[in-house]
C-alpha cells in the first residue's frame, strides 16, 4: 500500500514539478513563432525600385510547378503604359494555394526574381475560391503581425 501511495506521490510530484517549468507552447495568435526568412510560405510578386513589376509573364514558374498550381497569362504592355520593366508583363497571375506544395521551385525558376515565397503562412480560408491568389493579392503580400 505504501508503494502505491509513493508511486502516486511520485507521479503527482512530477506533474506539480512540471507546472512550474518553462513551457514550449506558443500562445497563438497572441504570440507567434519566428520563422527564418527562407521559410516557404505564401507567394509574392516583387517590384523593382522604380515600381515596375519584375514579373515578365514568362511562365517558367508555371512550367516547373510540380503541382500545376500556377497560371500565367502574358501580354504586351500598351505604349506608354509600362507595367513591368519591359514591354511584356503578366496580365493574369494566379496561384492556387490549395494545390501548392510550397516547394519553392517557382522561386528558383524565376529568371527575374519576381516570384518569391514569403514567410507568411496563415492561409486558412473557408472557401476554395478564396484560396486562389490572384495577381492583385500577390502584389500586395500580407505581412504577419
Residues that bind another protein (CB under 8 A): 56-60, 62-63, 71-76, 86-88, 111-112
Q: Which is nearer to another protein, 112 or 121 (CB)?
A: 112
Is the CB of 82 or the CB of 123 nearer to another protein?
82
CB of 99 to another protein, least distance (A): 15
Q: Residue 13 or residue 66: which is nearer to another protein going by CB? A: 66
Residue with smaller CB distance to another protein, 109 or 123: 109
To another protein, the closest distance from the beta carbon of 86 in angstroms equals 6
CB of 74 to another protein, least distance (A): 4
Q: Where are the alpha helices (DSSP H) in the chain?
A: 2-20, 60-64, 105-109, 135-139
CB of 60 to another protein, least distance (A): 7
Amino acid at each position: 500500500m505504501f508503494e502505491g501511495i509513493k508511486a502516486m506521490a511520485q507521479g503527482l510530484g512530477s506533474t506539480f514539478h512540471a507546472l512550474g517549468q518553462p513551457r514550449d507552447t506558443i500562445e497563438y495568435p497572441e504570440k507567434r513563432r519566428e520563422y527564418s526568412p527562407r521559410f516557404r510560405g505564401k507567394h509574392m510578386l516583387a517590384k523593382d525600385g522604380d515600381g515596375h513589376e519584375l514579373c515578365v509573364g514568362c511562365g517558367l514558374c508555371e512550367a516547373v510547378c510540380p503541382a500545376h498550381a500556377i497560371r500565367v497569362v502574358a501580354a504586351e504592355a500598351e505604349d506608354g503604359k509600362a507595367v513591368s520593366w519591359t514591354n511584356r508583363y503578366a496580365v493574369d497571375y494566379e496561384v492556387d494555394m490549395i494545390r501548392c506544395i510550397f516547394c519553392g521551385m517557382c522561386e528558383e525558376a524565376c529568371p527575374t526574381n519576381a516570384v518569391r515565397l514569403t514567410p507568411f503562412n496563415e492561409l486558412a480560408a473557408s472557401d476554395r475560391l478564396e484560396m486562389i491568389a490572384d495577381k492583385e493579392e500577390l502584389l500586395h503580400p500580407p505581412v504577419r503581425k
